[in-house]
Structure 1
Amino acid sequence: YYLEQTTGQPYLTLEIDREAVASYNLNVDAVQRVIEVGIGGQVASQVFEGQRQFDIVVRFPEDVRDSFKKIMEVPVYLPTGGFIPLKRVTRIVPQEGPREIAREDGWRRVIVGVNLKEIDIGTYVSRLQKAIDEKLDIPDGYFLVYGGAFENQQRAMNHLLVVVPLSLLIIIGLLYLMFGRLRYAMLIFANLPFALSGGIFLLLMRGFYLSVSASIGFVALFGVAVLNGIVLIAHLNELRQNGMPLRAAVVTGSANRLRPVLMTALVASLGFIPMAFNTGPGSEVQRPLATVVIGGLITATLLTLLVLPTLYNWMEKNRDVPDKDDAFGIHDDD
């Protein structure tokens, strides 16, 4: 980890001896002005060069202030005439002070950086927040802000809150255009919760949290789940359009589409297995994504082959399967 160093800078401070100042009939302001103006410098005037202006700073020559011994010999003039060296009314005190004072949005801040390995950032921050809540009592006036990659992740999650619902609406629209009936689109869409449940279950079982990569995995999973639903429902409709009774079409169509649905799920799942158990660089991103896809495909495939035909049989009782052109009101005049 990395902790921003805010202290540890050595300082040498000139402290004024007020008793000595009073014994010489001086005041503290006179001594402070010698230190401020002679050593630090003071703006005496300005010079203009075109549109630019520059300050004219007056202070002691460098050969008078290039060592502490010489600084302590700087003259301080007395009200009664004459002068005394600065060392008569001041002393040098070594101190340790801040290296810098960093601010963000008007607040002082200290950065604690952590490099993560073999864990995703969402999981780490969740555990960190829990540990802080249980073990630390943060004083008043202090607060924690999680930035860096986690802040970027939260921003990406907010974008996904818009992208994912929009994607689902587009899927419903495309399914309606394909089948011509909203009930078929919603029937295929009902397969998504089955996929969602499997992805979440395996994600929690492996101890992962919902991250950006896991959310992207859900988007990919929804695509495969919808594809399996389309393959099955389109074939069932085709069998019924050819005159096969509803129940026979459901049984025959499910058996016919068993192999294509399993092949689609297996190809995707087997391809993600190396990512799910990867431990190399980038594994914190790959493992949640692969876990979601594998878990979701297991439940989605089983429920596509078992539950979806049952729902189709229940929904289509006493209904004829329409031709898509009829559904949109398109008729051939010939």
Structure 2
Amino acid sequence: ASALTTTCVFVPFFFLSDSRSATWMRDAGLAICLAVLVSMVVALSLLPLAASRLFREGAERYDRYIKLAVVAAVAGIVWHKIGAAGKMGAWWERWLGLFSDSITGINWPTGLGLGLIAMAMIAWAWYIRRHGLRSSYAELLGWTLDHRWVALVATVGLTATGYYAYQQIEHRGTPWQSERRVDMSVTIDRSYSLEKVKEHFSEIERQLMERKSELDIESLTTRFSQRRGSIRAYLVNADDGQLTTQEAGTAIKALLPEKVGYTYKMGRSRSWQGNMLGVEVQLQGRNPEVLAVLVEEVAAGLEKLPGVEDVDSSLEDGEEEVRVEVNRAQALNYGLSPQEVASGIASALGTRRTSGFKSEDREIDIVMQLNEGDRSTLDQLRNSTFEGRDGTSIQLGSLADFHIQRGPRDLRRADRQLNVTVFANTKNRKQAQDLATPIREMMSQMALPPGYSWDLGRAARWGQEDADDSNFTAIFAVILIYLIMASLFESLIHPFTIMLAIPFSLIGVALGLSIFDVPFDNNGALGLLILFGIVVNNGIVLIDHINHLRAEGLSRREAILLGGQHRLRPILMTAFTTILNLMPIVLP
């Protein structure tokens, strides 16, 4: 029964949708199901054989040597992991700092609840030390049976505390690669030459790298052209740094040298707790001018929301360009067609291949254009000449008008429609989750033209798909557990005595994640399902023994008290062996 209930917890993984997390969860479910089935075969075949060989008279004399061997093996592993002197101190300092920061950062209701639980656990440990574990547990069971309403109120209070803590922790889907990064874009005025831009970015690199340790910068990269540039700072690990991702970005932006013609914009921040921090609204439509107006309205609405910083959009202005409009009538008077004028400008300024030169090992492109000194300014372009019908030289300025304006904007398409994203940074992902409802209310009050739509972006869609898969898995697993236990106990009522304990497993999970400030992702969901299986297995072991004692003639109260004492040690051994088995994954 224990093997079947554990297996059925992971059977729903094979019925998940085609979301991002479903692929690896199917693989994990298949591996766990196979491992449980193999362990069942081992438990029913090899363990009885091993017991027949080891549980015989005289085997106790080897206990001392086995204990020494276990202690020596554990000591060797610890010594190997510690390595050089001082490594254990650094490990302890890191985890102590993480624990203290998590404790000081929780809100007072959760802290009060944790304090009361800790005081109760300390008092119970002191009582157990004086009266023994089994007798103390029997007295606790007797007290709860005599004060059922008090026990019910305490249970409801603990459940409410766990549910509240579960709502406060950060939720995300697929775990991301641990990376903290700050991106910043730079818009440069056309009056600066490339050499001047290079000098400015060199000054930026110098100032930031001089304060590398203060800003938690691990490495810095910059890219620039004559009109645009970007700054990307990779930050150290969050446990080793002093600033959050948002604080580091604000400090970096404050240190950038101010100069006329340079505009700095904060990009999307990346954090060790997820891919990108912040919120976003994606707009879809067909007309770029209408989308530009909607982007301004959405950006203005986001700036009014609390906790929102660095509002920007993916709608980028095009590069400045010179637009030449040829006067057709004037060109025809000199015997030139507009196409000839356009071809002459393209040949003089472009970099298109006109011919080629074949060498012994390769072919070399030949590009013909004006010297760089003859095409560096707009006046030089106006003064360029063409040969007319009668062989006279004609200046281009007399044939065409020149205008400097922005080129086409950078727009992306999705589902055959233009797509623009308005985004803003937040301090953490939990704050971004809290802003989802205000953003929906803001967008519901905004009247979009027909044919235009919005959503909360790709990350929100992925998160919703992962949440739907997790809910489906949990509900399907509970149904399968009930069916197996109903067939085991031959009753439709007895399974509820075990299944009612499943929701209480969320208490410890939520409080633990809240204390250590760990997000609840797909790995957490997988661990929670494993916990469901452990709770059900412990319940089967306990309830089956209580039913056996009642069949022997004991009353319900006596069977519960005696069954609890008899099964206390196996349940504790199951819990502690599982914890110790998973401990190497938790500790570095």
CA drift of 1:93 comes to 1.2
What SS does the corresponding residue of 1:111 show, helix, strand or coil?
strand
Structure 1's 212 and 100: CA in aligned 2 closer, same or farther, altered over 3 A?
A: same
Distance 1:52 1:174 in 2: 74
Distance 2:462 2:358 in 1: 46
Tell me the residue number matched to 1:240. 550
Normalised by the size of structure 1, how large is the TM-score? 0.54
Aligned match for 1:125, one of 436, 449, 452: 436
Structure 1's 45 and 176: CA in aligned 2 closer, same or farther, altered over 3 A?
A: farther
Aligned match for 1:65, one of 362, 375, 389: 375
What SS does the corresponding residue of 1:43 show, helix, strand or coil?
coil
Tell me the residue number matched to 1:191. 500
Instruction: Give deviations 1:228-249, integer Å, cap 9, x for gaps.
Output: 85476345414312313xxx41
Tell me the residue number matched to 2:423. 113
Distance 1:130 1:44 in 2: 59
CA drift of 1:95 comes to 1.4
Aligned match for 2:385, one of 52, 57, 75: 75
Structure 1's 170 and 45: CA in aligned 2 closer, same or farther, altered over 3 A?
A: farther
Aligned match for 1:93, one of 369, 393, 403: 403
Distance 2:314 2:363 in 1: 37
Which has the higher mean CA deviation after the structures are superposed, 111-120 or 217-226? 217-226
CA contact (8 A) 2:498 2:540 kept: no
Tell me the residue number matched to 1:278. none
Distance 2:531 2:445 in 1: 39
Distance 1:148 1:57 in 2: 44
Structure 1's 236 and 136: CA in aligned 2 closer, same or farther, altered over 3 A?
A: same
Q: Is structure 2 residue 454 aligned with structure 1 residue 144?
A: yes
What SS does the corresponding residue of 2:336 show, helix, strand or coil?
coil
CA contact (8 A) 2:385 2:393 kept: yes
Distance 1:85 1:104 in 2: 46
Residue ranges of structure 2 left out of the alignment (5+ in a row) = 1-310, 508-519, 572-588
Matches within 5 A, 1:5-20: 5-7=315-317, 9-20=319-330
Distance 1:2 1:108 in 2: 17
Distance 1:50 1:151 in 2: 57
- One-letter amino acid matched to 2:384: V
CA contact (8 A) 1:191 1:226 kept: no
Distance 1:56 1:72 in 2: 26
What SS does the corresponding residue of 2:367 show, helix, strand or coil?
strand
What SS does the corresponding residue of 2:447 show, helix, strand or coil?
coil
Normalised by the size of structure 2, how large is the TM-score? 0.33
- One-letter amino acid matched to 1:187: F
CA contact (8 A) 2:499 2:536 kept: no
Distance 1:157 1:104 in 2: 24
Aligned match for 2:348, one of 30, 34, 38: 38
CA contact (8 A) 2:502 2:532 kept: no
- One-letter amino acid matched to 1:58: M
Which has the higher mean CA deviation after the structures are superposed, 224-233 or 65-74? 224-233
- One-letter amino acid matched to 1:191: L
Residue ranges of structure 1 left out of the alignment (5+ in a row) = 199-210, 265-334
What SS does the corresponding residue of 2:454 show, helix, strand or coil?
coil
CA contact (8 A) 1:231 1:257 kept: no
CA drift of 1:8 comes to 6.2
Instruction: Give deviations 1:273-332, integer Å, cap 9, x for gaps.
Output: xxxxxxxxxxxxxxxxxxxxxxxxxxxxxxxxxxxxxxxxxxxxxxxxxxxxxxxxxxxx
Distance 2:326 2:486 in 1: 86
CA contact (8 A) 1:189 1:226 kept: yes
Aligned match for 1:27, one of 337, 341, 359: 337
CA contact (8 A) 1:191 1:229 kept: no
What SS does the corresponding residue of 2:425 show, helix, strand or coil?
coil
State how many pairs are aligned.
246
Matches within 5 A, 1:202-241: 216=525, 219=529, 222=532, 226=536, 229-230=539-540, 233-234=543-544, 236-241=546-551
Distance 1:8 1:165 in 2: 51
CA contact (8 A) 2:356 2:366 kept: yes
Instruction: Give deviations 1:203-248, integer Å, cap 9, x for gaps.
Output: xxxxxxxx858x939748856864785476345414312313xxx4
Distance 1:32 1:110 in 2: 34
CA drift of 1:84 comes to 0.4
CA contact (8 A) 1:232 1:257 kept: yes
Matches within 5 A, 1:254-333: none
- One-letter amino acid matched to 1:75: T
Percent identity at matched positions?
A: 21
Structure 1's 108 and 53: CA in aligned 2 closer, same or farther, altered over 3 A?
A: farther
CA RMSD of aligned residues (A): 4.8
Larger RCO of the pair (alpha carbons < 8 Å, separation 6+): 2
